[in-house]
A = this chain, B = another copy of it.
């Protein structure tokens, strides 16, 4: 309940190797992964990396997503401070979503992953074929 105003900003835990034995960072990672690891968050963040989009644009852009999941995912991203939601009180209603500065910083590691996926995706596919049987 205490809205503690600790000297915030970029005074993190210090850079460190990924170390699952480090329970603090480990917990944070679990948390992050729960967000970006879900089925849609990365797609949406990636799409918003191209600029502001409204709800229906996202729905069309992110192939296969249901209305419900788009709403839920956007709410979570908003809650985590990665996305801002702006409502224009018009008729018909218009709602726009864009990345926050924090959200934009996430774009970088996500791009790294995206690159990895595009480079090694076929390696994985081959590994699976090998594993699943000759």
Contact = CB atoms under 8 A, between A and B. Distances in A.
A116 interface: yes
A10 interface: yes
A131 to B, nearest CB: 4
A29 to B, nearest CB: 5
A105 B120 contact: yes
User: At the interface, is chain A mostly helix, strand, loop or mixed?
Assistant: helix
Given A105-B120, A110-B18, A116-B108, A3 B80 contact: no
Interface of A: 3, 8, 10, 12-21, 23, 25-26, 28-39, 42-44, 46-47, 49-50, 61-63, 78-82, 102, 105-124, 126-132, 134
